[in-house]
Structure 1
Amino acid sequence: MANPCVEKLSAGEWSPERFRRHLEETRAPLVERVTPGEVEVTFVDEPGDDTTVTLSVVIGPNIGFNPMGTEFTSVPGTPFRILTLRMRSDLRFSYVFTRCGPMADEEQIPDPFNPPPKFAECAVERFSGASVAVLPDAVPLPWLEQAEARPAPAMESAVLASELLGNERRIWVSMPRGEFSEETALPFVIHLDGTPEHSAPSVRDALVQAGLIRPCAVVLVDQLGLQRYQELLCNPAFSQMLVDELLPWLHHRYPLSRDPGDVALAGESFGGLCAGWTALHHPTTFGNAIIQSPSCGYHPDLRGGSGAGELLRSTPIPTLIADYLAAEPAPIRIFHDVGELESSNTHSRWLNHVLTGKGYDTHYREFAGGHDYAWWRGLFADALRWWLPPMAE
């Protein structure tokens, strides 16, 4: 079934200029419902001659963009190429186009008719700058929309030098509006996937203004490129740096609470793995963990093989799950979300089974998508509301 707007373009009822204006006014992709639970989604590009276009989405077996494989097809007599796919109607997902020119030079770009949202820059560069599709039955993320409409909050930036790790990194701190002192010390969340463009401070401001959470500080920790893949993987030295260096550094500069219940450690993917592991091993410092699509399947010896290598492959219990199984329940609370369509969601379900079986105060949810910032940015609001509801009057 062709999209009605594409049919008008093909039949000459709409000129290319009229079709282009429609896309700019309504935003791509074009969506038509075909059953109560399914829609046809039409992506449109205008790449120029001798250029092929393919689509990649953050849903599928790979962590990152998964190529759909099928090339866009031309709309005869126009400069446009289209690709129509049938999808679940409740999806929200990041996506990009890959253009390949006559010299086989590839360029990955966002949808020119659906620019990236405000908070599109991410700690992991390969996820940054993508367009986001929100299909008609996707769970709304109203606090992300409110955050996107707000002016950027004030942010202080400084460099933290670590003797434990032998490196230094940028730290960004966003305080809520108002005056605070040691007598009114603030709760705070440390986000391990920090960038100065992160949505967390703006989401915090929207929730505070609505009276849905207590004022809190947001601390954003920079990740140092490829060192992320060593520091965040259940690394005792990195966790100790947070306890022995970052927290004293923060308390020296800001009126922040020393009550573990007022401190949350947050992260996405490897950052979520680190947040959950660090809170378990340092519960008198971090009383809460916000883990979004955590890499629960990680174990340093868990490697796939091929051929004869399969005869040597071991399958140990992943580190985070094994440590929670082995330890006595710690006095921590855990907010945990993961995509239904992530390849690793079975590990998140396993971790949740362990946590509930051990009696942890935990909130677990699955969303209709993949390993995707398109969901994490908005569901962080739910995590803040779970962790820091307003004080009872």
Structure 2
Amino acid sequence: MDRSAQPRHEPDDPLGAFKKLQTAVAACDHAASQEALVDRFVARYPQSPLIGSVEAVIWYDGPGEVVLLRGDMLQERSEPLQRLGRTRLRYQHGHYELEARLDYHLLVDGQDVGDPRNQRQAPSGYGPRGELRMPGYAVSELWQPRADVPAGTITAFADVASGLYPSTRTIWVYTPPGYQATERYPSVFFHDGGDYLRFGQTQALFDNLIAAGLLPPCIGVFVNPSREHGRVVDYDLNPGYARFFADELVPWIDQRYAISSAPAQRVIVGASFGGLIALWIALQRPDLFGCVAAQSSFVSRRDDALIKLFQASPRVPLKIHLMVGSYETHIGPFDRDSGEANFLRGNRALHRVLQAKGYPVAYADYPEGHSWGLWRARLGAALQFLLSPSSIQAYTTGR
């Protein structure tokens, strides 16, 4: 049989096909013919983005005069998509790390439309976000609910008040499957608790880690910011909030749930501003919290005040997991000239201080941005580092 006569099937290469489309459009003078080329391409490759090994194309072919891209890859800036010839198709071509995962969205004539051609949607408190995953990005999705895994229980407390820091907030408590009041469980306290449940999918993460034997059965305490002040006031190195958390909230939980009093089995968690206050409380109250999971923490706040405090303070018995995205160099409306907005710089600086002081610390930065997609995917590793049975034994025995 003559194998050379058989049709050859080239491997599917959407990005390569787009580059051929660019060449074909450039060689074509007629707008209608250019649109016909785009029609054929879109029919064959309807999804955005188009991914290569270290490059990607985000594209849009819907209505609108001005189409802007905004996302992690642009560091809080907006950039217009480039038009392909005289066609309706607009695009942005970028180069990224092999393991990168980035959130982005499109603004069409000022309206946030996410990315209507992207089937991957990232968790966000600001509306729909498209997710760009490069080929080397690989994280076990332990936050996905599973029907074959026993589920813990969430109990809500709607109006938890403070006398030390006049305010109210909602708190949710997770108890593991088979919870027994006669046992004593490790505990994990979360700032921005409602967001960790909604966007971090932490209930399913607890269920799956516990079922797999990767985490001991533990109790999760999810604390919302106060209604009266909000998260920025609560978390901005606020001594009143810290007193509420340590001197009112922890005893309030201890009275109601079977929680271990050992600091090595009590974790405090936060992201961004929440990571800042988590680290600050733990440094001041190592009698309560022996472990911190700080995600993309705003440690550069107030001219690196927290970093300087760790540098100046005696080392306390505290185990710390730090992580941040390498795209977190210009975050929010904060001062860029002073470096306050550079979360990557701040977290790297804190890591160096903690290492020099002799803290047991794990640190990682990933090619990602300031997002729930990053925090959700990496929280499981942080909790295992802090609370796995072997980790607790090593921490408490000094090995």
**In the alignment, does 2:77 pair up with 1:66?**
yes
Q: TM-score, length-normalised on structure 2? A: 0.79
1:282 aligns with 2:302: no
Corresponding residue to 1:81 among 66, 74, 90: 90
Deviating more after overlay: 2-11 vs 289-298: 2-11
1:148 counterpart SS class: coil
Q: Judging changes above 3 Å, is the alpha-carbon distance between structure 1 residues 377 and 21 closer, same or farther for their aligned structure 2 residues?
A: farther
How big is the shift at 1:169? 0.7
Tell me the equivalent position of 2:317. Answer: 331
SS in 1 for 2:52: strand
Provide the C-alpha distance between the structure 2 equivalents of 1:186 and 1:291, rounded to a whole number of angstroms. Answer: 21
Structure with max Cα Rg: 2
Question: What is the identity, as a one-letter code, of the residue corresponding to 2:91?
Answer: I
Once residues 168 and 316 of structure 2 are traced to their aligned partners in structure 1, the CA distance between those partners, rounded to angstroms, is: 31
Q: What are the equivalent positions in structure 2 for 1:1-393 lying under 5 Å apart?
A: 3-6=15-18, 7=20, 16=39, 19=42, 22-23=45-46, 27-33=47-53, 38-39=54-55, 41-48=56-63, 50-61=64-75, 65-67=76-78, 69-74=79-84, 80-100=89-109, 106-115=110-119, 117=121, 120-121=123-124, 125-126=125-126, 128-138=127-137, 140-142=138-140, 145-150=141-146, 154-159=153-158, 160-181=160-181, 183-195=182-194, 196-197=197-198, 198-224=200-226, 227-299=230-302, 302=303, 318-343=304-329, 344=342, 345-390=344-389
**Relative to structure 2, which stretch is displaced further, 148-157 or 343-352?**
148-157
Aligned length: 348
Identity of aligned residues (%): 25
For structure 2, the 5+ residue unaligned runs are 1-12, 26-33, 330-341, 394-399
Runs of 4+ aligned residues of structure 1 deviating over 6 Å after TM superposition are: 8-15
Contact 2:14 2:51 in 1 (8 A): no
RMSD: 2.8
Give the deviation of 1:16 after TM superposition. 4.2
Displacement after TM superposition at 1:19 (Å): 3.0
Tell me the secondary structure at the aligned position of residue 169 of structure 1.
strand
Q: Is the 8 A contact 1:5 1:19 kept in 2?
A: no
Q: For residue 56 of structure 1, what is the amino acid of its counterpart? A: R
| Partner deviation per Cα, 1:333-383 (whole Å, 9 max, x = no partner) | 110011223222222122111111111111111111232322111110110
CA distance in 1, matches of 2:162, 2:112: 36
TM-score calculated relative to the size of structure 1: 0.80
CA distance in 2, matches of 1:97, 1:47: 11
Q: 1:32 to 1:115 in 2, by over 3 A?
A: closer
Q: 1:74, CA displacement in angstroms?
A: 4.7
Q: 1:21, 1:112 → 2: CA distance?
A: 17
The answer to whether the 8 Å contact 1:355/1:362 transfers is yes
Gaps of 5+ in 1: 101-105, 303-317
What is the letter of the counterpart of residue 336 of structure 1? L
Distance 2:42 2:153 in 1: 41
Change (3 A) 1:21 1:169: farther
CA 1:298 to 1:14, structure 2 compared with 1: closer, same or farther past 3 Å?
same
Give the C-alpha shift of residue 66 in structure 1.
2.9
Distance 2:90 2:38 in 1: 15
Aligned to 1:312: none
Matched position secondary structure for 1:238? helix
How far did 1:12 drift? 8.2
